[in-house]
Amino acid sequence: MSTISVRDLASHVGEVVTLRGWLTHLRSSGKIHFVVLRDGTGEVQGVLRHGECVWEGVEQLDDLEQECALALEGQVRADPRAPSGVELDVRRLVRLAPSPHYPIQPKAHGVDFLMEHRHLWVRSPRQAAILRLRARIIHAIRAFLDDHGFILADPPIITPSAAEGTTTLFPIDYFGESMYLSQSGQLYMEALAMALGRVYAFGPTFRAEKSKTRRHLTEFWMVEPEMAFCQFEENLSWQEQLVGYVVQDVLAHMQPELSVLGRDSEALQRVVPPFPRVTYDEALRLLQDRGYALTWGEDFGAPEETALAAMFDRPVFVTHFPRAIKAFYMQPDPERPDVVLAADLLAPEGYGEIIGGSERIHDLDLLLQRLKDHNMDPNAYSWYVDLRRYGSVPHSGFGMGIERVVAWIAGLDHVRETIPFARTLNRVWP
């Protein structure tokens, strides 16, 4: 007899085992009680018959409250009707810890209430499935990059200057000096690409986003690959290979979670490269044809992104954006310097931009000019400018937002459920 996981029960049919976990549900029918136990790896039903089971730590049946901690000892029995394929004939039940008046009851609670109790909400099967899915997605991203010669290199979180514009910076007091939480590790990744060739960052990033949308967090995780000797086209190719790999990996390994989430995986099966591409100009025309009153030079918002993505059955790249609406470091198109060699990858089904990437300026004078155009202090970026002085070569990279990818693959309404403890404009609790 040993303590084993619910997930492994099917290979222990006939054996006597001990399970430890929490009670999700109790139902009685005469002298038989059905106890559903979850242990983080799955759920199983235990069957208790009066007179055939020893109880410890329990005076009466009512002591078995939702989410009390339990140990169940019993014999594993195959049961084709059970979701896990097995049940447990319980001989001994020990209540390890009580759980009086558990706040989240099996009824519909509002999302504010659930977010307020996020520390408990994460126990629900649906939330646990999302977090398992997130872990698998991160695993797949890292496996892909590690297998393709990308070196994980961690940029700092505390930074002296902005990477993505000054409007979304979180300032922090650094021993009397003003510093910022990193919005993106990109500038550092460019330095590291010149040291290691292909690199990636995987970590938290911070944006003081004043927008209250389904897609914005103030603290989110980003994977940021950066490649030396890599130009615009190759950059897009890495992005579609990565996204295709991640989606197919999830389909191959996470069917139980996708079914808990009720995710229709048909749309995901189509996510195989190459992905369609439209230039900003073409996208603008497509949108104008459908009645969107946008003029050249305006950025796309969520409604435009959703409308555009709906015209394609796979993720779509929008390329060659007007220079003026994009970041200072982006390489202008040599044939048309008013647009940049940048692309956003839009996910299908209204999930919007999941990747932003570009070829970077590698010419010293051009970079200095662009800093000036953006009224940025070249002294604050002197180390970054240095990269253009010593063996500067074409290089490109991109940033993929983990939470948006999880929301899309899981088919969720909002990114707040894709991260264990979401940080948004109006929530930093718990």
Residues sharing a CB contact under 8 Å with residue 52, sequence separation 6 or more, in sequence order: 91
CB of 15 vs Mg ion, minimal distance in Å: 54
Residue number with CB closer to ligand 4AD (134 or 207):
207
Other CB atoms within a 10 A radius of the CB of residue 139 amount to 14
Residue number with CB closer to ligand 4AD (74 or 357):
357
Phi (first) and psi of residue 121, to 5 degrees: -60, -35
Helix (H, G, I), strand (E, B) or coil at 344: strand
Residue number with CB closer to ligand 4AD (66 or 186):
186
Nearest residue by C-beta to Mg ion? 356
Cα(398)–Cα(222) distance, rounded to whole angstroms?
A: 10
Q: Decide if residue 186 touches ligand 4AD (CB under 6 A).
A: yes
Query: How is 22-55 classified by DSSP, letter by letter?
Result: EEEEEEEETTEEEEEEE-SS-EEEEEEETTS-EE
Site for ligand 4AD in 320-379 (CB under 6 A): 353-357
Q: Cα dist. 88→74, 112, 328 in Å?
A: 6, 37, 62
Residue number with CB closer to ligand 4AD (192 or 268):
192
Element spanning 339, H or E = strand 336-340
Query: How is 382-421 classified by DSSP, letter by letter?
Result: HHHHHTTTSS---EEEEEEEHHHHHHHHHT-S-GGGSSSS
Residue number with CB closer to ligand 4AD (202 or 245):
202
Q: What does DSSP say about strands 16-29 and 32-38: parallel, antiparallel, or unpaired?
A: antiparallel
CB of 210 vs Mg ion, minimal distance in Å: 16
Q: Decide if residue 79 touches ligand 4AD (CB under 6 A).
A: no
Task: Pick the binder of ligand 4AD from 33, 95, 198, 216 (CB under 6 A).
Answer: 216
Other CB atoms within a 10 A radius of the CB of residue 148 amount to 14
Site for ligand 4AD in 402-421 (CB under 6 A): 403-404, 415
Task: Pick the binder of ligand 4AD from 398, 408, 417, 419 (CB under 6 A).
Answer: 398
CB of 204 vs ligand 4AD, minimal distance in Å: 11
Cα(47)–Cα(69) distance, rounded to whole angstroms?
A: 17
Q: Taking CB under 5 A as the rule, which mask of x and - marks residues 355-394 in contact with Mg ion?
A: -x--------------------------------------
Task: Pick the binder of ligand 4AD from 222, 283, 284, 410 (CB under 6 A).
Answer: 222
Say which entry of Mg ion, ligand 4AD, none residue 354 contacts (CB below 5 to 8 A, set by partner kind): ligand 4AD
Give the residue among 363, 356, 354, 374 at the shortest CA–CA distance from 319: 356
Question: Residue count at the site for ligand 4AD (CB under 6 A)?
Answer: 24
Residue number with CB closer to ligand 4AD (93 or 400):
400
Residue number with CB closer to ligand 4AD (48 or 343):
343
Say which entry of ligand 4AD, Mg ion, none residue 408 contacts (CB below 5 to 8 A, set by partner kind): none
CA 66 to chain centre: 30
Q: How many residues does the chain have?
A: 430
Q: Which two tokens stand for residue 104?
A: 């989240």
Do residues 121 and 104 touch, judged by C-beta distance below 8 A?
yes
Cα(348)–Cα(345) distance, rounded to whole angstroms?
A: 10
Using a 10 angstrom Cβ sphere, with 0-12 exposed, 13-18 middle and 19 or more buried, the burial of residue 131 is middle
Residue number with CB closer to Mg ion (9 or 327):
327
CB of 280 vs Mg ion, minimal distance in Å: 13
Q: Decide if residue 394 touches ligand 4AD (CB under 6 A).
A: no
Say which entry of Mg ion, ligand 4AD, none residue 224 contacts (CB below 5 to 8 A, set by partner kind): ligand 4AD
Q: Decide if residue 399 touches ligand 4AD (CB under 6 A).
A: yes
Q: Decide if residue 225 touches Mg ion (CB under 5 A).
A: no
Q: Which two tokens stand for residue 14?
A: 């006939």
Interacting residues toward Mg ion by CB under 5 A: 356
Binding region for ligand 4AD (CB under 6 A): 163-164, 184, 186, 207, 209, 216-217, 220, 222, 224, 353-357, 397-401, 403-404, 415
